[in-house]
Amino acid sequence: MKSKHTQARPATSPRGTHLMLRYAFIAATLACVVGAFAWTAGWFSQRLTPQRIVDGFEGMSGVHPGFRRNHAKGICVTGRFESNGAGAALSKASVFKAGVYPVMGRLSAPGSDPTEADERAMVRSFALSFSLPDGEQWRTAMNSAPIFAVRTPEALYEQLAASERDARTGRLNPLKMDAFLKKHPETRAFHSYIETHPPASGFDNATYYSINAFRFTDANGNARYVRWSVVPETPYEPVREDAARDADFLAHDLVSRLARWPIRWHLMISVAQPGDPVDDSTRLWPAERDRERVDAGTVVIDHAQSQIDGPCRNISFDPLILPAGIAPSSDPLLAARSSTYAVSFNRRTREEARFTAGRN
Domain with 222 in it: 19-359
Which pLDDT belongs to residue 10? Answer: 36
| pTM of the complete model | 0.84
Which residues are annotated as part of the binding site for heme?
341
**What CATH number has the domain bearing residue 236?**
2.40.180.10
| Three-state secondary structure call for residue 198 | coil
Structural domain count of the chain: 1
Q: H-type helices in 137-202, by residue range?
A: 153-162, 174-183, 188-196
Residue 75 inside a domain? The answer is: yes
Residue 45 inside a domain? The answer is: yes
Residue 31 inside a domain? The answer is: yes
Residue 14 inside a domain? The answer is: no
Cα–Cα distance for residue pair 115/193, rounded to 1 Å: 26
Residues catalogued as catalytic: 71
Residue 11 inside a domain? The answer is: no
Question: Which tens digit of pLDDT belongs to each residue from 179-197?
Answer: 999 999 999 999 999 999 9
Closest CA to 243 of 146, 158, 342, 120: 120
Residue 10 inside a domain? The answer is: no
Question: Which tens digit of pLDDT belongs to each residue from 59-90?
Answer: 667 787 777 777 889 999 999 999 999 999 99
Q: Please name the helix (run of DSSP H) or strand (run of DSSP E) that holds residue 137, with its range, or none.
A: strand 137-143
CA 13 to chain centre: 22
Which residues are annotated as part of the binding site?
341
Question: Which tens digit of pLDDT belongs to each residue from 305-319?
Answer: 999 899 999 898 999
Least confident of 1-10, 123-132, 191-200: 1-10
What integer best gives the mean pLDDT of the chain? 84
Task: Return the half-sphere exposure (C-beta side, CA atoms, 13 A cut-off) of residue 103.
Answer: 30
